[in-house]
Amino acid sequence: MKSDIVEAFAQMAKLKSIDRDILESIIKDSFRKMMEKRHGPEANFDVIVNMEKGNIEIFLYKTVVEEVNDPSVEIDVSSAKDRSGEDFEPGDEYVEEIPIDEFGRRLVLNLKQNLNQKIKEIEKEVTFNTYKELLGDIIVGEVYQIKPNSVLLIHNHNEIIFPKSEQIPKERYKKGDTIRAIIKSVEKRPSGPPYVVVSRADDQFLYKLFELEIPEIYDGILEIKSIAREPGERAKIAVYSNDDRIDAVGACVGMKGMRIHSIVRELSNENIDVINFTDDSALFISRSLAPAKLQDIEIDEENKVAKIYADEDQLSLIIGKNGQNVKLASKLTNFQIDVVREKEKEETKQAEEKQE
């Protein structure tokens, strides 16, 4: 019976990638509880589990005495001799091997159920810790179920949640598709496996794609300073070179646009503007609104507000489709950008002159 228990759970540990040492400690702990229940909490015993041989041995230790006061830790001379066939004197240590059969089939069945429950708990903990370490990293999952508000992926035999809010809106998925996404969050649940959420719409996904495609970013030669993105539509990314010999934008775009094109393809042809970062706020804002030409910029550093002056023919470029360009530039630079027409500027100037 004992070898069956060890073998059954050794197989389970193998299937569920649980360390055999951890399984051994679970089995020991379970038998300890059974021993304490049967022989008392003060009982002195050892549980030895040999996972290789499939053996479980339990040894109960008692002190030989003339008169027993505590049967959980003491045994009289005659009883010790009757059980072992050896001669003992008071003060000797009596050792008895406890057969697992002594516990009865019901207790052993309970033991197996407890072991199974503990293995499930450990499996949940292992899965949680694994994905916690992968937080912010890209994984590849396979679509196995499509729901109205989410897509369920399989990754390393684990279920991953890909919510609609984290999807690129124009993308459509079907069962069997493989999808690259970042691990956005990992949460424990009262029951069942951890709740793992992935995203392709998060700014961090774009960051990781740049890190994968551009070795200079991975190596720290180039830095990504900020990202602004409307998933599947357009993104702006500010980069900075820590080496004067390397052009940050050129390195990101690559020869004939090879590097940036692979990222664009991954993001379903999302337009990506790569911008040289600078601490000069006016210049940074101007670069973030390119190719629009600006007449002037007034910067309020304290309140993080920038007034942009431009000719009428540049307004559509500055604002962009549905205000997309100016909104992304505002997010990228962390400035509220107010666009003032050149005509309005003149009217304001004339009004100020009249007041003087």
- Shared-domain flag, residues 93 and 211: no
> How high is the pLDDT of residue 269?
92
- Shared-domain flag, residues 190 and 212: no
- Shared-domain flag, residues 290 and 347: yes
Is the pLDDT score of 40 beyond 80?
yes
Look up the CATH number of the domain holding residue 184.
Answer: 2.40.50.140
Share of the chain above pLDDT 70, in %: 87
Is the pLDDT score of 283 beyond 90?
yes
- Shared-domain flag, residues 229 and 170: no
Min mean pLDDT across 53-67, 136-150, 216-230 is at 53-67
d(CA 46, CA 93): 14
* Residues with Cβ within 8 Å of residue 144, at least 6 apart in sequence: 152, 153, 154, 175, 176
**First vs last C-alpha separation in the chain:** 103
Nearest to 35 by CA among 73, 7, 68: 73
- Shared-domain flag, residues 178 and 250: no
Nearest to 28 by CA among 1, 8, 51: 51
Omega within 30 of 0 (cis) for the link into 90: no
Q: What is the largest CA-CA distance in the chain?
A: 121
- Shared-domain flag, residues 71 and 151: no
Amino acid at 260: I
> How high is the pLDDT of residue 99?
81
Question: Are the C-beta atoms of 44 and 73 separated by less than 8 Å?
Answer: yes
Question: Are the C-beta atoms of 255 and 246 separated by less than 8 Å?
Answer: no
- Shared-domain flag, residues 296 and 186: no
Residue 69 structural domain: 2-131
- Shared-domain flag, residues 225 and 293: no
> How high is the pLDDT of residue 25?
81
> How high is the pLDDT of residue 322?
85
- Shared-domain flag, residues 209 and 193: no
Is the pLDDT score of 354 beyond 60?
no
Number of domains forming the structure of the chain: 4
Of 198, 217, 242, the residue at which a domain comes to its end is 198
pLDDT digits (tens, 9 = 90+) for 71-118: 889 999 999 898 888 888 999 999 988 887 766 667 667 777 777 777
- pTM of this prediction? 0.73
Of 229, 262, 277, the residue at which a domain comes to its end is 277
DSSP tag of 217: H
Compute how many other C-beta atoms are within 10 angstroms of the C-beta atom of residue 339. Answer: 19
